[in-house]
Amino acid sequence: MTIPDLLDDISLQMADFKDDYALVFKKTGSYLGLTLSRGVRLGKGPARMVNGIWYIDEDLYLQKVYSDIELEPELVDLRLIK
């Protein structure tokens, strides 16, 4: 996954060809997901793979607490999907 404009002139790139790691927001341990209509979302497990794509449930409580996330490289991590 490549996000060319995460913040002003900051890009994020990650690759996991084995499909066993996911991008996580370090402050909460939540999975980071993307939507076409609403941008970055915080999610909770368990993650489910359907037709080769990982799906997570949006954590509506954390979305309210962190409603305007400014992602910086030190706030994200690749962690083993559980």
Domain ranges of the chain: 2-80
pLDDT for residue 40: 79
At 16, the pLDDT band (50, 70, 90 cuts) reads low
- Residues 70-81 have pLDDT tens digits of 778 888 888 888
Amino acid at 58: E
pLDDT tens for 18-56 read: 678 888 999 999 988 877 777 778 888 888 888 777 788
Say how far apart CA 41 and CA 34 lie, in whole Å: 6
Question: Model's pTM, two decimal places?
Answer: 0.67
> In whole angstroms, how far apart are CA 13 and each of 1, 6, 36, 61?
6, 10, 18, 27
pLDDT for 61 beyond 90: yes
**Residue 31: burial class (beta carbons within 10 Å; 0-12, 13-18, 19+):** buried
Q: Give the count of beta carbons closer than 10 Å to the beta carbon of residue 71.
A: 16
